[in-house]
């Protein structure tokens, strides 16, 4: 990697490259920095090409030259590093803050890096114990670990875990956890977060990893929706298609075909009052067969959690209306 | 406002028929009386003609369900009183009751797109989880009631204390639906 130029050179080069159609990393950083200062466009000419010059401590418009802000503060480190080893030696910060830990990841722990003497080990254990102050904190830690456990079992990405953890904090602040099962609440929160992020998990899948039954999760879910004033749109069959298709080893073409079928069905108002998972299952079943990739109703049933009867019924409804040729039962 | 054939399906009422009742005695003497003390503190007494169900409590209070009209409640209450007096239990002869809930059904006359209603009305008090239950639950503050809306266009109204309440609730709903052009 070439030695970094001075900030001014970098940003000007970056801007030039931008004009020429390529993107330079420094220019992107400069643009983001400008946005962070609260600026999006030049007040005089409305251009979106703003340059942050930390060398002169200025933000100026690249098109008309207006200096928009002076004496900006550079919040970066005062050192420079020319490779990753140097960087790790010089950096003083740790991991980013996260809501998934009860202390938001901000506390310090005794490391067991190069082995501990018995005394050091004792210190570490006692530090961990005094860490947790009271029952509330303890149950909070338990709840967060539950969220983590279930999210891992469901292979959910970090952002959904963070969302669920944040919701739990909100619920705690509003004292909604009192007298209710923590497992029920955490399961419901994960369910909500998945829905909010457009990658819903079926209630069955939640129940499989949860310590409580479906009824308890549903109750907690409705309770939380009301108390936290959350708006969750009804799960659309389309949201389930990518995941089910990949679990059935069906490729992108079948996936888009299934989505098409669902869209047509929704327009024809066939989906009214029907469970979205059943529709998704039937659409996938149809799309698979039409592409020659046979999946038995049992296979689809196992993956989606709906019964074969439901798949059969939905498939009949869809094929009737959408004029898909009668297919043989596999 | 059209009435859309609102039909009362169930009337729930309660009354005080005595100061105290011996439920064990009643269960032993009265046919069709079920008392599972551990599960529920009330005795369940079902009548066949007219068909109804009573929850009878030690406090002497009862809850009556199953009738389709207020008149029906009156008749069946009097029957209960007669039955109890028949086995030697002292109760009020014609108990005064109070209607607590009326469940009614109605039909909008055409299919409804529940997903569109959720989006269009975007309000509080709307529960639609097709994964769990095919009906949309719309809760109204005034009069305090809940309406179950099904994609077939049929409605179930509950929570009202009078038939007028039910009709008013339906009117509120229909109004909202017309506002967003779904009717």
The rounded distance, in Å, linking the Cα atoms of A62 and A52 is: 10
pLDDT score at B96: 92
How many CA atoms does the CB half-sphere of B79 hold within 13 Å?
Answer: 19
Interface of B with A in 2-41 (CB under 8 A): none
Task: Identify all chain A residues contacting B135, using CB atoms and an 8 Å cutoff.
Answer: 273
Task: Sort residue A21 into left (φ over 0), alpha (ψ -120 to 50) or beta.
Answer: left
Among chain B residues, CA nearest to A195: B129
Q: How far is A128 from chain B (nearest CA, A)?
A: 43
Residue among A167, A162, A213 nearest A176 (CA): A167
CATH fold of A237-329 reads Cyclin A; domain 1 (1.10.472)
Q: What is the pLDDT of residues A158-216, one digit of tens each?
A: 999 999 999 999 999 998 888 889 999 999 999 999 999 989 999 989 999 999 998 89
Torsion A161-A163-A164-A169 (CA) sign: positive
pLDDT, position A25: 55
User: What digits encode the pLDDT tens for the residues B111-165?
Assistant: 888 888 888 877 677 888 888 889 999 999 888 999 999 999 999 999 999 999 9
Give pLDDT, residue A187. Answer: 95
Distance between the two ends of chain B, CA-based, in angstroms? 14
Tell me whether domains A135-227 and A237-329 share a fold. yes
Highest mean pLDDT range out of A36-40, B38-42, B175-179? B38-42
Domain boundaries, chain A: 7-70, 135-227, 237-329
At residue A254, does pLDDT exceed 80? Answer: yes
Query: Could you tell me what percentage of chain B is helix, strand and coil, using 3-state DSSP and rounding each to the nearest 5?
Result: 25, 30, 40
DSSP B17: -
pLDDT greater at residue A251 or residue A273: A251
Beta-carbon pairs below 8 A across chains A and B:
41
Please tell me the distance from the alpha carbon of residue B73 to that of residue B114, in angstroms, as a whole number: 35
Q: Domain A135-227 is of which CATH architecture?
A: Orthogonal Bundle (1.10)
Give A83→chain B minimum CA distance, Å: 53
Pairing of strands B52-56, B43-47: antiparallel
| Average pLDDT of span A239-268 | 92
Q: pTM score, two decimals?
A: 0.74
Inform me whether the pLDDT recorded for B76 exceeds 80.
yes
Q: Do A272 and B115 touch (CB under 8 A)?
A: yes
What is the pLDDT averaged over residues A89-117? 82
In Å, how far is B41's CA from the nearest CA of chain A? 23
Note the ipTM here: 0.74
């Amino acid at each position: 990697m070439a030695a970094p130029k001075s900030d001014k050179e970098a940003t000007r080069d970056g801007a030039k490259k931008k004009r020429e159609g390529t993107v330079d990393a420094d220019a992107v950083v400069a643009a983001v920095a400008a946005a962070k200062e609260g600026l999006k466009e030049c007040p005089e000419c409305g251009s979106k090409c703003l340059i942050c010059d930390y060398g002169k401590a200025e933000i100026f418009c690249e098109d008309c030259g207006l200096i928009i802000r002076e004496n900006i503060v550079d919040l970066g480190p005062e050192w420079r590093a020319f490779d990753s080893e140097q960087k790790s030696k010089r950096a003083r910060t740790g991991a980013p803050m996260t809501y998934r830990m009860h202390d938001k990841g901000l506390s310090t722990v005794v490391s067991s890096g190069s082995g501990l003497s018995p005394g050091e080990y004792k210190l570490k254990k006692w530090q961990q114990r005094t860490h947790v102050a009271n029952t509330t904190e303890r149950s909070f830690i338990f709840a967060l670990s539950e969220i983590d456990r279930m999210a891992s079992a469901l292979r959910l990405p970090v952002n959904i875990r963070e969302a669920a953890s944040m919701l739990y904090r909100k619920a705690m602040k509003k004292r909604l956890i009192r007298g209710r099962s923590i497992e029920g609440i955490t399961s419901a929160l994960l369910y909500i977060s998945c829905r909010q992020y457009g990658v819903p998990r079926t209630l069955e899948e939640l129940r499989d990893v949860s310590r409580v039954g479906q009824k308890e999760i549903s109750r907690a879910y409705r309770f939380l929706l009301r108390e936290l004033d959350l708006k969750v749109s009804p799960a659309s069959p389309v949201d389930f298609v990518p995941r089910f298709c990949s679990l059935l080893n069906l490729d992108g073409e079948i996936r888009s075909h299934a989505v098409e079928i669902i869209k047509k069905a929704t327009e024809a108002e066939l989906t009214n009052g029907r469970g979205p998972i059943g529709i998704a299952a039937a659409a996938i079943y149809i799309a698979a067969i039409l592409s020659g990739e046979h999946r038995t109703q049992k296979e689809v049933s196992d993956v989606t959690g709906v019964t074969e009867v439901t798949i059969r019924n939905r498939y009949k409804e869809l094929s009737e209306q959408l004029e898909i040729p009668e297919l043989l039962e596999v | 406002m059209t009435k859309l054939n609102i039909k009362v399906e169930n009337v729930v009422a309660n009354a005080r028929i005595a100061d105290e009742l011996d439920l064990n005695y009643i269960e032993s003497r009265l046919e069709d009386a079920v008392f599972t003390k551990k599960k529920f503190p009330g005795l369940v007494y079902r009548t066949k003609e007219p068909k109804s169900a009573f929850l009878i409590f030690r406090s002497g209070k009862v809850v009556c369900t199953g009738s389709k009209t207020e008149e029906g409640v009156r008749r069946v209450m009097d029957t209960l009183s007669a039955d109890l007096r028949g086995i030697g239990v002292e109760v009020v002869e014609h108990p005064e009751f109070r209607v607590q809930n009326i469940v009614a059904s109605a039909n909008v006359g055409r299919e409804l797109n529940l997903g569109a209603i959720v989006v269009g009305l975007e309000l509080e008090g709307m529960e639609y989880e097709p994964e769990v239950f095919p009906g949309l639950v719309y809760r109204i503050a005034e009069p305090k009631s809940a309406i179950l809306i099904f994609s077939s266009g049929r409605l179930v109204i509950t929570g009202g204390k009078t038939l007028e309440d039910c009709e008013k609730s339906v009117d509120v709903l229909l109004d909202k639906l017309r506002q967003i052009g779904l009717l």
